Amino acid sequence: MNYVALKMLLGDRAKYLSLIFTVAFASFLLANQVSIFCGILLRTASPIVDVPDADLWVMDRETQYFDESKALKDSDLYRIRGVPGVAWAVNLYKGFARATALDGKFRQVILLGVDDATLVGAPRNMLLGKFEDLKAPDAVIIDRAGYRYFFPGEPLSLGKTFEFNDHRARLVGIAEASAPFATFPVFFTRYSQALSYVGRERNLLAYVLVKSHPGTSLQDLGARIETATRLRAVSGDGFKWQTIGFYLANTGIPVNFGITIALAFLVGAVVAGQTFYLFTLENLKHYGALKAIGVGNARIIGMILLQALTIGVFGYAIGMGIAAGFFELTLQHLPTRGIVLMWQAVVASGGTVLIIIAAASLLSVRRVLVLEPAVVFRG
């Protein structure tokens, strides 16, 4: 009977290929949009992920996400260092500045100022140079995407000069940093150097990075820091999800991607269901003949489910192949770097395809169950 079911399915090539294409398109669109959606959201917290050394991030109580912070007082850093359980605490500057290359090309950039003594927060994935070279005078490190913007087509090289706020900066390293949400070049320098690159305000300390003593509960340490300083202390992972949550709640990203994902599901379910139902109607006489010779309903239902499963497996495989190829191509482009096909999206798409196939076969199964075998003998 399985052979007969597959022969019936393959007998109408037009509808068979239409069903395969519909499922492939739906699964590709679902995996594609879910992966891009998650990749963009993870970009909002990329600077947090790139600082694995710190256990806690200390910030103003009203800070909602990484890109918008209220400056702390320099005295807050020393108060935090005095809290029991703190192994070390260092400052971190985060802001925007205007960088100008020697040829006059300029752009607003993300400027990160790391602790002068320890260089905690400096990039570790270096393509050229060493992050320790930041200790040299006027030293900066740029991310690879930023270098490609300022020097398109040129091979990676060090020693180039930039200007920040009438101050000279010398390139000592090129790093592979996580892509930020806003596609600005990212520069790293020492904290004291960063202060001279931006317009001077009374307070410029954005965050304090804290490392706990071994065996210290991060929750207890955070509570002690908050009590002693009236600031907020959260783990790096907690701050990452806080930032992502802000963008989810305050931007149109979830709505835009949600509409596309919902449309992919609806189109897949409606078109596949309608086409598969029409396919079943055209083969009612064959099912009636099988019933007339004694084939039971359970066996016929198995045939319909086999047909639906065959369509789902082939369509899903083709859709995931197209999605994998798409991300393999876009991964090579700097604006879309870091956005990959996520395994969670692959699994979710597979589950959605099962739902689509189940919906497509449900009406067909019902139509066959109420079929009278005598239909095969009607003229």
Confidence of residue 174 (pLDDT cuts 50, 70, 90): very high
**Are 34 and 182 in a shared domain?**
no
Tell me what the pLDDT averaged over the chain comes to: 85
The pLDDT value recorded for residue 190 is 94
* Last residue in a domain, options 200, 230, 260: 230
Find the distance separating the first CA and the last CA of the chain, reported in whole Å: 26
Whether 109 is covered by a domain: the verdict is yes
Q: In this structure, is the dihedral angle defined by the CA atoms of residues 143, 145, 146 and 148, taken in order, positive or negative?
A: positive
Q: Are both 275 and 313 inside the same structural domain?
A: yes
Residue 50 belongs to a domain: no
Determine which of 38-47, 225-234, 268-277, 299-308 has the lowest per-residue pLDDT on average. 268-277
Given a cut of 70, is residue 56 above it in pLDDT? Answer: yes
Evaluate whether residue 58 is within a structural domain.
no
Closest by CA to 143, choosing from 186, 104, 107, is: 186
Q: Is the pLDDT of residue 124 over 70?
A: yes
**Mean pLDDT over residues 152-156, rounded?**
89
The mean per-residue pLDDT over the stretch 76-104 comes to 90
Q: Is the pTM of this model over 0.85?
A: no
Q: What is the pLDDT of residue 158?
A: 93
At 115, which amino acid appears?
Answer: D
pLDDT grade for 378, boundaries at 50, 70 and 90: low
pLDDT digits (tens, 9 = 90+) for 179-223: 888 778 999 999 989 888 886 656 668 889 999 999 889 999 999
- CB environment 54-92: b (16+ within 10 A), e (fewer): bbbbbbbeebbbbbebebbeeebbebbeebebbebbbbb
User: Parallel, antiparallel, or unpaired for β 207-212 and 86-101?
Assistant: antiparallel
Q: Could you give the number of structural domains in the chain?
A: 2
Phi, psi of 136 (to 5 degrees): -75, 155
In a domain, 113, yes or no: yes
One domain for residues 200 and 256? no
Q: Give domain status of residue 126, yes or no.
A: yes
Same domain flag for 11 and 78:
no
Residue 241 placed within a domain: no
pLDDT 10s digits, 230-247:
999 999 999 999 999 988
Q: Which tens digits make up the pLDDT trace of 291-345?
A: 777 777 777 778 878 888 888 888 899 999 999 999 888 877 777 777 888 889 8
Residues 120 and 214 placed together within one structural domain of the fold: yes
In 3D space, the residue among 108, 135, 132, 123 whose CA is nearest the CA of residue 193 turns out to be 135
- What pLDDT does residue 321 have? 93
The 10s digit of each residue's pLDDT in 15-26 is 778 888 888 888
Last residue of some domain: 230, 262, 288?
A: 230
Q: Predicted confidence band at 142 (pLDDT cuts at 50, 70, 90)?
A: very high
Reduced to 3 states, what is the DSSP secondary structure of residue 184? coil
268 and 365 belong to one structural domain: yes
pLDDT at 251: 81
CB-neighbour burial class of residue 340 (10 A; exposed 0-12, middle 13-18, buried 19+): middle
Q: What is the pLDDT of residue 166?
A: 84
85 and 191 fall within a common domain: yes
In whole angstroms, what is the distance from residue 97 CA to residue 89 CA? Answer: 25
Same structural domain for residues 38 and 186? no
Task: Provide the sign of the torsion angle of the four alpha carbons 258, 264, 270, 276, taken in this order.
Answer: negative
Residue 195 sits at the vertex; the CA angle it makes with 149 and 40, to the nearest 5 degrees, is: 45
Residue range of the domain that includes 34: 2-44+252-377
Asked whether residue 379 carries a pLDDT value surpassing 60, the answer given is: no
CA dist 340 and 196 (Å) reads 38
Whether residue 31 is found in the same domain as residue 80: no
| Residue 279 sits in the same domain as residue 312 | yes
Which of 198, 230, 262 is where one domain is finished?
Answer: 230
Long-range Cβ contact pairs of 123-127 (< 8 A, separation 24 or more): 123/50, 123/173, 123/175, 123/176, 123/177, 123/188, 125/175, 125/176, 125/177, 126/173, 126/174, 126/175, 126/176, 127/156, 127/174, 127/175, 127/176
CA 131 to chain centre: 27
Residue 65 lies in a domain: no
Please report the pLDDT score of residue 310 as a whole number: 86
